[in-house]
Structure 1
Amino acid sequence: MTSPAVDPAPETQQATITTSTGEARTPVDPAGPAARRITGAVWAALGIVYVVWGSTYLGIRIVVETMPPFLSAGVRFVTAGLLLTGIIAWRQGPAALKVTRRQLGSAVLIGLLLILGGNGLVVLAETSIPSGLAALLISVVPAWVVLLKAASGQRPTAGGLAGVALGLVGLAVLTLPGLSGEVKVGGVVLVVVATLLWSVGSFSSARLPMPANPFTASAYEMIAGGLGGLAVAFVRGEQHGLDVTAISGRSWAALAYLIVFGSLIAFTAYAWLLQAAPLSLVATYAYVNPVVAVALGALVLGEALSWPIVLGGAIVVGGVCLIVSTERRG
């Protein structure tokens, strides 16, 4: 998926890593926020996360112009997962890929929730709705995470609850294009379901016996989710009548971009940021990504910016900003 979920947590506790593919990890922050300095390298890495993750929605929209949705998503994540596996074995040794049966089972479950359910449904939805609208609908994920945390007994802050309320209001406004017939309502519903699955996956990953190495966990999640996507593609019959020669060059280029930049480079930059920069700064990607996605969709694909998209998007981004700023302060 593209715009990762935010799992708000106090900066004095473990913070959840959520990658460009939606995987969530909980690394230890040994230095603490006070020991982190904002350097030029930090700003460069943050720029990569801002632009690349924000641009993945555009990439998906271009891919599905001539490629089947689940088939393309499956190929993307299986390829990215295998590449990451090779990189881990090369840089850290094959031992870094060893996990227990329970850890592997947890990684498979989270990969299916996040990549097959979350990302897969978004890819399917983008066959019928604009990429910018999809990005804005997805940005409500932090609100679902706060509600899941509250349901588990963790009391949210007043600011967090206010952010949830704003996010849900924004979500209601963003659904108006579907209700009015401007876009297919089915696509809007698919993205909303995707946000729920993504939220459950992000919330659950910090509570399951996951592999200790976050890169290893992400590799297995991507492979599992990608294989799940390929299975769904074959059940849907996406392979029937598929003419590889009819796939456009720009769809191939977009798929390669998603694999290399969206699933590998941006993820590495984000993982490094979590160790090198204040978490409150890193978390700003959650409300910058949708803005980048909407701008690129309008500039490159000429997607219309209707008033529900502009207003609803502004409300959702405001809610996410409030959630991130208050929940991370604890």
Structure 2
Amino acid sequence: MSPYWVAVWRALPAGILMLMLRPRLPTLVWSKLGLLAFCNIGAFFALLFIGAYRLPGAVAGTLGATLPLIFLMLAWLIDKKRPGIKWLLLGLMGLGGVILLLNPSADLDPIGVLCMLSATTLIAFSSRWMQKWDVGDFLVLTAWQLLLGGLMLIPLAWFMAGPPQLPSMTLVPSLIWLVIANTAVAYWAWLWSMRNLGPEIMGMVALVNPVVAVSLGVLIVGETLDMRQWMGIAVILLSLLLMKLPQNLRLNPFKKVQP
């Protein structure tokens, strides 16, 4: 089945299932909700698939690790909040660890790079909006984003892969896991954490993703890591530990720019 239709069947059933659990209309106005659905689901999935198709997985993962730095940059440019030197260094440190871990290829496709950076930037913008808007119940918010985002993906999937494709029976168990755990629960947890912990902290926590992926490869597939990759894991984990020191760094990661 085409990955574009996988994206549709991943988002739509998850949104419908969550609305069955919490059948309510969103408290957020439709224009803002549509914008969040476009950034977090519709456009994000589309850009992600294009970038993943045109780039090696290592490069795509490394570009996604720019999220903490994009958060800091947007706060600086839009809110005039200059990032503290320690948060800036932690973001660079985490990105450096991912580069060591994934060892990206030097051959970069410009369109693929642009798509991955655009997808990451959309997540950064939507996270800022969720910090400022009264989004209401997070289960309802997640459900409507997945539903609307899935509907937005249908025209793209139809254009790229033809008429709707239904999953085969052998794919149904995997799709159920993808819909419930990797989409419904995962997106709810991500949106809740973005609002309650803050985008700066969640941007750093997102650096754990490549570490988990590599660790699963070692435990399940039997892959081996070289010294460079072990150093990358150590650097990423160290950057996350340093995020707690000192305590006031976590609570006030920005410094207001003096006029």
Q: 2:209 aligns with which of 275, 289, 297?
A: 289
Quote the offset at 1:83 in angstroms: 0.9
Give the CA deviation at 1:145.
0.9
Q: CA RMSD in A?
A: 4.1
The 8 Å contact of residues 132 and 295 in structure 1, kept in 2 or not, is answered as: no
1:85 aligns with 2:7: no
Equivalent position to 2:162, from 214, 219, 239: 239
Deviates more, 1:304-313 or 1:152-161: 304-313
Q: CA deviation at 1:303?
A: 7.3
1:82-124 deviation digits (Å, cap 9, x = unpaired): 11111012xxxxxx42536xx2211110111111233333344
Task: Give the distance between the partners of 2:125 and 2:191, measured in 1 at CA.
Answer: 21
Alignment of 1:1-330 (within 5 A): 67-89=1-23, 96-99=24-27, 103-127=29-53, 134-151=60-77, 152-169=79-96, 177-180=104-107, 187=112, 189-207=114-132, 209-236=133-160, 238-239=161-162, 244=166, 249=170, 251-266=171-186, 285-297=205-217, 315=235, 318-319=238-239, 322=242, 327-330=249-252
Q: 1: distance between equivalents of 2:112 and 2:101?
A: 12
In structure 1, runs of 5+ residues without a counterpart are: 1-66, 90-95
Cα drift, residue 231 of structure 1 = 2.0
Q: Could you tell me whether the CA contact under 8 Å between 2:138 and 2:188 is conserved in 1?
A: no
**Could you give the per-residue CA deviations for residues 58-104 of structure 1, whole angstroms, max 9, x where no partner exists?**
xxxxxxxxx32222112211111111111012xxxxxx42536xx22
- Does structure 2 retain, via aligned residues, the 8 Å contact 1:77–1:226? yes
In structure 2, give the amino acid aligned to 1:254: S
The CA distance in 2 between the partners of 1:248 and 1:188, in whole Å, is 35
TM superposition shift of 1:206: 2.1
CA contact (8 A) 2:70 2:124 kept: yes
Aligned partners of 1:132 and 1:297 also within 8 Å: no
Distance in 2 separating the partners of 1:302 and 1:186: 33
**CA–CA distance in structure 2, aligned partners of residues 271 and 194 of structure 1:** 16
Q: % of aligned pairs identical?
A: 24
Report what 1:28 is aligned to. none
Unaligned runs of 5+ in 2: 253-259
Q: TM-score, with normalisation over the residues of structure 2?
A: 0.72
Does structure 1 conserve the Cα–Cα contact (< 8 Å) formed by 2:98 and 2:207? no
Structure 2 SS opposite 1:224: helix
The count of corresponding residues between Structure 1 and Structure 2 is: 246
Q: CA separation in 1, counterparts of 2:123 and 2:150?
A: 15
Q: Determine the C-alpha separation between the residues in 2 that align with 1:273 and 1:113.
A: 17
Alpha-carbon distance in 2 for matches of 1:318, 1:172: 15
Q: Which moved more, 1:138-147 or 1:305-314?
A: 305-314
Residue 122 of structure 2 aligns with an amino acid whose one-letter code is L
Task: Give the structure with the larger helix fraction.
Answer: 2
Paired AA for residue 121 in structure 1: L
Change (3 A) 1:134 1:206: same
Kept after mapping to 2: 8 A contact 1:170/1:312: yes
CA distance in 2, matches of 1:186, 1:313: 29
